[in-house]
Structures are given as structure tokens and as C-alpha cells.
Structure 1
């Protein structure tokens, strides 16, 4: 199983300003100290291996979209934020021919705009014969997608899409066989509700996708339920939009969680890997890198059993399980 991250920001897409690129290039030149490179490969190795990630690369700016790839069968992807445009192009490339008679399965955490905004730009939706199944815990998923393509908001109406698009409402507490995956979902605390998903392949590898979820001391039952849901997962993709201080003060009731809560949940559930996800759009690459470092340190200080590997997701990351 491979997990590919096509969009990792929360709330709205972001793009670096010209001054941000200038700062990165300046920092890279200073770090090089006048060093010359024999060829492109040597220069790329310097960027990849010697520069901080926030300087040589970056976390990206597309909103939520994560692919679960079992290596065969239909495509499976969580949410359709702005990152789904790149996923659509790449999946068509991998599909070969013209994409006819293939299936794309979407699993929706919820229906807020940053998680559906990429669908009008999803290339397979315009391919006659392509099959798209949109799975959600929300019975009104079709209403949300149709509404964003009304004429007042978008020039291409939903009914103009050529793919065979169907909607399927899933219920928590059940396991569904979808393609090569077993899929379960759990309700989460968020405006208009959100749902987390657990995907398990035929080899027993599993990943949990849990974004736009808030945990509160006053509702520990929900936290206990999530611990059970993610028990011993190979990868937990978690909403870590805020610091703990923000999530319990000025951002309380905003429907998001923190890096600290994510580590605590994973420790209790004996999860193996944690991927920080749904990055705050106002955070710079340096801010996200600092949060990653602080999360790793917190995990080390609070660890009582096996180590939890802490990853920081970015647009283009691929994790193999």
C-alpha cells in the first residue's frame, strides 16, 4: 500500500509570494558558501540532503487530497480539495488509454469548500465512460457538489460532466468492501459533522485518515472511540492545524485539533506512524518545520512504549506501508 499526499493545507489553498522564493534562494546561496556544482544531480543532492526542508523545498499549498493506492484495481482518494486536480491528471496518466471503464472512489471527510473545491477541475469527471463513486457519511453530499457548480459560482454545470457519477452514503459501525480495501468510518466533532476513515488492504496494512476533528476534555468519550478506531494503525493521518495553546484558547470550537493531541491519541492507540496534516494556511514552511520538530521532541518525552514515527505531510509525499 502506498499513500500519496496531493494536498495537505487546510481552509484555503496558498501560494508563495515572490518575496518568499527570494528568501529561500538567498538562504540556499548563503548555505552553499560559494560552492560550485559539477552538474544538476550534484546541485539537487545538495538541496535534498544538506538544506533544511523549509529552505530547499516546501510543504505545498493545495488543500486536502490523499490517495490510498493498493497497486491494483480502482483508485481510492480521500477528499477533493484543490490537490485533486494534480491527482486527476496523474491518475489519467497511470490509467493509460483514455480512462474509460476505470473507477475512481472518493471518501469524503465532510463537505466544506476546501475539501470539495477541486472537483470541478478533476479531469476524469469529463471522460465519458469513466466511473466515479463518491462515498460519504453525509446524505447531502450530492447537493454540496452540485451547488458549487451552479451558474452563479462556476461556468460548467455538474450535469455537463460526462463521467458516470454516483453517490453512496456510508454509516459508522460497519465495514465496507470497496475495491481491494476494507473501509470503516467514524463520526468526528466538526461543523456539519466530519468522518474519519480506516482503510485496510488484503495484506492487513491499514491507514487512518482523520481530518477536521476537534477533541475536548469535556467529551472524552469521543477521544476514547477514536483511540479504538485507530488501534495499532500503520499510519495515522491527523488534523494538526493548530498548536495546543491555540486549539484550547482562541481557536476553540473551530473544529480542529493539535499536534500534541495527535501524538497522545497515537500513543494510546499504539499507532506506528503519524503524519501531521491540514496545515494552517498562514503558517510558513519554516513554521510547519518547527512544529514538526517540536512534535518529534514531544513524542520522545512522552513515549512509554514503542516509538511513534512522526512525519510531516507535504504535497508530493509518498509513504509506503
Structure 2
């Protein structure tokens, strides 16, 4: 099983500014002043050793995660969590691989229906191609309404009914296991305005948790135990770590998001192996996200008895399970 992050930002997509790009280049060149970089190979090696926040970027697309559960060479079915703006480059990758005349089936599992999680769908090219099949799963009664409404003429030039693909909506029940070929998917209710749902995906002894847009009240023991059970022994937990703990319990309490510290504690209690910080705060630049990652790793080292690998999601990231 492979997980691919196509969009890791929360609330709205963002882009690097001129000043931010210039600062990265300046920092890299200043560090290179006293190095002998005389060949392309030496330059490439130098760039490879730069910190990620200088040589790369966490990206700016809103939430979209692909799970490659089956061999793409032999299977025409795909699993996607959420349809933020990250689904546009996902669509490009699929068309480059399969072309427009090779029908595919896309199984899409929605955490919730806020705009940052559905806004990429009108730009999902496979939806326009006859022969493709898109099955959108979720626990909300308004699932189909949300997708149709954002493509009404006042908001978008192409109506939902003009899409060429076959599009279906299937309602899931929280806590009830759903079988998709050899994959088991279980949704769980989460605390967020209008409700959101996390997903536990299991296949061949591997377990993935996708849990974004979820607030955790530290004084609610029953809720905490419920999430510990949901995360139990997961190989990877993709977790909403939008805020610091201080913000999550004070000025941004009841805003429907969680923190890096809570993610560590839940994973430690559940015996999870890896934690992926996700749904990054849109006002954070790459350096700030890297600082959060470093602080999270130090916290986990101090508080944990068992090792917990921690990473920060970025657009284009691949994670093997």
C-alpha cells in the first residue's frame, strides 16, 4: 500500500510569494559562497543536503490524499480521500498514465463538505470524460447537494449534469465497516462544525488512518479512548495538526481542528508507528512548518516509550506502508 499526498494545506489553498522564493534562493546562495561547486553533480549534491524548507516546499493545495491499494498496472480502480485543490494535479497524473480513452473508477471518501475539501472537484478532469466512474462516499446527508451546488451557474460555468463521467453517491454509516475489494474502510464521527469523519483503512495487515478536521477535547476521557481505539496499532496516522496546543485550547477552541501535541499523545497511547502532520495552517510558511515538525519530534522523544516516526505532509509526498 502506498499513500500519496496531493494537498496538505488546511482551510484554503496558498501559494509561495515572490519574497518567500527570493528568501530561499538567497539563503541557499549565501551558504554556497565558500563551497567549490564546479559541476552540475556538485550543485545537485549541494541542493540535496539543504534543509527541506529551503530546497523544497510543503506546498499549497488543500486536502487530497490518494491511496494506491492495488497494482496500477493491472487495476483500474483508485482510492482518494477528499477533493481539495490537490485533486487537480492528481487528475493530471492519472491522465498522463492512462490517457482519456482508458476508463477508470475512482472511489472518493469525503471527510466532510466544507469548501476547501470539495473545491477541487470541478477541476478533476476525469469527471468530464465519458466512461469514467466516480463513486463519492460519505456520512453526510447533504453529500450530493454540496457537489451539485458548487457547480450551479452563479459559481461555475459547467453544471454538474454536464459532466461526462458516471457519478454516484453512497452514504456510509459511522462505525460500520465497508468492504471495497480486499480493503476494509471504517468511518468515525469527529468533532467539527457540521461534523466530519475520519477513516480507518485496512488491507493485508496494514492500517492507515485519515483523520483531518477533528478537534479533541482534552477533558473528555471517553472521546480520547474512542480515538485511541480507532488509531490502534496503525502503520500511519494522517492527522490534523493545524494549531499549536496553546491555540487549540484557547483562542481557537471550538474551531474544529487539533494540534501536533494531541496527535503525538493519541498515537503513543494507540501504539501507532508513524504520524503525518497534515492540514497545515495556511498562514505558516515552510520554515514555520519545519519548526513545528522539529518541536513535535522532540516532544515525542521526551514523552514516548516506544519510537514514533513523525513527518510533515507535503504536496507530492509518497509514503510506503
Q: Deviations over 1:138-188 (max 9, x none)?
A: 121110011111111111111111000000000122211113421111000
> How is 1:97-108 mapped onto 2 (pairs within 5 angstroms)?
97-108=99-110
Q: What corresponds to 2:301 in structure 1?
A: 300
The runs of 4+ residues in structure 1 deviating greater than 6 Å are: none
Q: Deviations over 1:5-29 (max 9, x none)?
A: 0000000000011111110000000
Q: What corresponds to 2:243 in structure 1?
A: 242
Q: What corresponds to 1:220 in structure 2?
A: 221
Could you say if the C-alpha distance between residues 222 and 88 of structure 1 is closer, same or farther in structure 2, counting changes exceeding 3 Å?
same
CA distance in 2, matches of 1:46, 1:12: 33
CA distance in 2, matches of 1:315, 1:208: 18
> How is 1:131-210 mapped onto 2 (pairs within 5 angstroms)?
131-201=133-203, 203-210=204-211
Q: What corresponds to 1:18 in structure 2?
A: 18
Maintained 8 Å contact 1:31/1:51:
no
Q: What corresponds to 1:52 in structure 2?
A: 51
- Paired residues, number: 317
Could you say if the C-alpha distance between residues 278 and 32 of structure 1 is closer, same or farther in structure 2, counting changes exceeding 3 Å?
same
Q: What corresponds to 1:283 in structure 2?
A: 284
Q: What corresponds to 1:37 in structure 2?
A: 37
Q: 1:92: Cα distance to partner? A: 2.2
Q: Deviations over 1:191-249 (max 9, x none)?
A: 00000001112x21111000000011343322211110110000000000000001011
CA distance in 2, matches of 1:260, 1:46: 33
Q: What corresponds to 1:113 in structure 2?
A: 115
Q: 1:70: Cα distance to partner? A: 1.6
- Gap runs ≥5 in structure 1: none
CA distance in 2, matches of 1:22, 1:97: 37
Q: CA RMSD in A?
A: 1.2
CA distance in 1, matches of 2:143, 2:317: 28
CA distance in 2, matches of 1:99, 1:2: 25
Q: What corresponds to 1:271 in structure 2?
A: 272
Q: What corresponds to 2:311 in structure 1?
A: 311
Secondary structure in structure 1 of the residue aligned to 2:238: strand
CA distance in 2, matches of 1:193, 1:57: 34
CA distance in 2, matches of 1:264, 1:227: 9
Q: Deviations over 1:255-292 (max 9, x none)?
A: 00000000000000000000000000000100000000
Q: 1:101: Cα distance to partner? A: 3.2
Could you say if the C-alpha distance between residues 28 and 163 of structure 1 is closer, same or farther in structure 2, counting changes exceeding 3 Å?
same
Query: Which of 86, 91, 94 is the aligned partner of 2:94?
Result: 91
Secondary structure in structure 1 of the residue aligned to 2:220: helix
- Gap runs ≥5 in structure 2: none
Between stretches 230-239 and 100-109, larger displacement belongs to 100-109
Maintained 8 Å contact 1:76/1:106:
yes
CA distance in 1, matches of 2:237, 2:101: 31
CA distance in 1, matches of 2:107, 2:40: 39
